[in-house]
Amino acid sequence: MPATHRPAPLPQVLVEVDRAPAPVACRATDYPAGWQIEPHAHAKHQLVHAVQGVMVVQAAAGRWVIPPTRGLWLPAGMEHAIRCIGEVHMRSLFVKPDAAPKLPEGCCAVGISPLLRELIRAAVDVQHPYTPNSRDGRLMRLMLDELRALPVLPLHLPMPTDPRLAAICSHLQQQLDDPSTLADWAARLSVDVKTIQRLFAAGTGMTFGQWRQQARLLRALELLASGEKVIDVALALGYESPSAFATMFRRQFGQTPSQFFAAR
């Protein structure tokens, strides 16, 4: 099992780039397996992306599991913490809120196109300050264009604030193979099934079944990234067979588990 590290403060290099006057800046930071970064926020928007490893990002709005080829857009001021699954090579873009119009407004998982990946790779080596009409300035402007076209991906698990739903969701995150139905939970909490259905829709934008499925799939990403076999992951999460798990995975992410991670 990988070592678990106590939450660490934000590296100074990221603190400095967050305060830099440039409209866009990029920094590379690498972390060992199990590393945790304590809750923090940035004055700028941030696109966090790992060219290697999987990140689990926790914020007030929910939890995101971010594998390679994906990224997470974090609006300025949003507090978040990061946990590394496997060795993580992180690439962070910092964007001033007024750098460009029509940037994403909320926190969201996004696809990283091959072009944006190469732009980020090049941006790591840009020296600051840079002039707008220089090669570096043009590179950064092109990156802003790409950021406005980011495709949003279903890698988010919204967390409800209602204490009854929070109790259900907390339990399921600990025991994702629990087959309890909505009727079972209604009986345990002494509430009507329709009440729980209404609360789930209002608090998460999902049905009970959709939320549990999403929780299972995101946990699957963590386990697969840690090297677990598909059959073991499927059975641990309560699926009847690896094929049933693979079908659900492909329906959600558009790829089988092996294809999803081969895309790195």
Mean pLDDT over residues 146-166, rounded? 87
Q: pLDDT by residue (tens digit) across 36-49?
A: 999 999 999 999 99
The chain-wide mean pLDDT, for the chain, equals: 86
In this prediction, residue 228 has a pLDDT band, given cuts at 50, 70 and 90, of confident
Q: How far are the Cα atoms of 24, 48, 137, 211 from residue 15, in angstroms, in the given order?
A: 14, 14, 22, 35
**85: helix, coil or strand?**
strand
pLDDT of residue 253 exceeding 90, the answer is no
Give Cα 14 to chain centroid, integer Å: 19
Lowest mean pLDDT: which of 18-27, 51-60, 199-208?
18-27
Structure tokens at 171: 């339990």
Question: If you classify domain 12-153 with CATH, what class do you get?
Answer: mainly beta
Amino acid 227: pLDDT: 80
| Rg (the chain; Cα; Å) | 20
In CATH, the number for domain 159-262 is 1.10.10.60
In this prediction, residue 1 has a pLDDT band, given cuts at 50, 70 and 90, of very low
pLDDT of residue 263 exceeding 60, the answer is no
- Check residue 151 and give left, alpha or beta (phi > 0: left; psi -120 to 50: alpha): beta
Q: pLDDT by residue (tens digit) across 73-127?
A: 999 999 999 999 889 999 999 999 998 888 888 888 898 888 999 999 999 999 8
Distance, in Å, from the CA atom of 103 to the CA atom of 254, rounded to the nearest integer, reads: 25
In this prediction, residue 18 has a pLDDT band, given cuts at 50, 70 and 90, of low
Q: What is the maximal distance between C-alpha atoms in the chain?
A: 66
DSSP line for 197-209: HHHHHHHHSS-HH
**Length of the chain, please?**
264
Lowest mean pLDDT: which of 21-30, 58-67, 196-205, 249-258?
249-258
Is pLDDT larger for residue 13 or for residue 197? 197
Full-model pTM:
0.75
144 contact partners, CB below 8 Å, separation of at least 6: 23, 24, 95, 99, 100, 103
Domains in the chain: boundaries: 12-153, 159-262
